[in-house]
Amino acid sequence: MDFDELEEKLSDLKMYAEENFIPIIRDKSAKFLYDFVKDNGFRNVLEIGTAIGYSGSIILSAGAESLTTIEIRKESFEMAKKTFSELSLLDRVDMYLGDAKDVIADLCCANKKYDMIFLDGAKGQYIHYLPSLTKLLDVDGVIFADNVLLQGMVEKEGKIPHRKRTMVVNLRKYLEVVGEYPYNTTLIKMEDGIAITRYKGE
């Protein structure tokens, strides 16, 4: 399925997200994600933050063989399950309802490996997830982190609104850490910012 066809199939879901203030990946970033998965031939993908299944559907439609996805909100989880089912993708998805940090820990204990991790959960937790996500990466695996610039606030100088301060500080820490060895990161200043990180190993 090409991206234009997929976009048409997901149009009602996208409208639902907009009407109900559910954050999903933005338009240009969605196309970038689709092309990135397709061009790199990722097979086994872990997604942190299922929401209503929009980005997961993009990943699978771009050619990923399987998706493991984690969502903390039950209502979103159930809607994502419906989304995957309607697109005939559900048999390629392992869905977990729960706190990402707990599920990630369980996946590490089970020695799971993924060639791509799509990081789109709680922005203030990216830096805390990173050590465990590194353990889950297969050789030459990639972390694709969305929203790393948080509406430009991460790069902005001056006062940050109080309710966003922790997220901004933690995203700055995340970008600082993945910007140095043993990580190799490309920051793409598209829409809300994407960080593509490869782990070189210790």
* Cα 172 to Cα 106, 150, 165, 182, distances in angstroms: 27, 10, 11, 18
Residue 75 confidence (pLDDT): 94
Do 53 and 80 contact (CB within 8 A), yes or no? yes
* pTM (two decimals): 0.93
What is the structure's pLDDT at 152? 72
Domains of the chain: 3-199 (3.40.50.150)
* 33 has a pLDDT exceeding 80: yes
pLDDT higher than 70, residue 202: no
What are the residues whose beta carbons fall under 8 Å from the beta carbon of 162, sequence distance 6 or more? none
Residue 157 has a pLDDT of 72
